[in-house]
Amino acid sequence: MEARAQARFVRVTPMKARRVVDLIRGMDADEASALLRFAPQAAAEPVRKVLESAIANADDLAGTPRETLVIAQAYVDDGPTMKRFRPRAHGRASRINKRTCHITVIVDDKASIAALKGGAR
């Protein structure tokens, strides 16, 4: 059974978060969590928290053991952009865009994914 977790309005740019999410898509949950723990990108921490939440949801909802989970889907959507202004020379102002994103991770057990791939042929 699949379980999902979502973090909304995360103060990381979507482009930077997608770099991290692309690393873990399709990996085993434990392996992805270990990779994110030591990834140098700042976006790795919120992505890891969402992954851990999805793993906990799978355990809570279906009792699926952590070792059998695989990241079925992981994606990042744009959130609202906060617009701020910075004073510049000669009385001008420049706009600063503080971007946010919504991170979604869906985990599923290996048997379900194998059945879907086998049944699709």
Structural domains of the chain ordered from first start: 3-114 (3.90.470.10)
Distance from chain centroid for Cα 31: 15
pLDDT digits (tens, 9 = 90+) for 88-99: 999 999 999 999
Residue 121 has pLDDT above 80, yes or no: no
Q: What is the pTM of this model?
A: 0.89
- Alpha-carbon span 49 to 60, nearest angstrom: 16
- Predicted confidence band at 111 (pLDDT cuts at 50, 70, 90)? confident
Residue 116 has pLDDT above 80, yes or no: no
Nearest Cα to Cα of residue 76 among 33, 14, 5: 14
Q: Using alpha carbons only, what angle is made at residue 52 by residues 50 and 58, rounded to the nearest 5 degrees?
A: 105
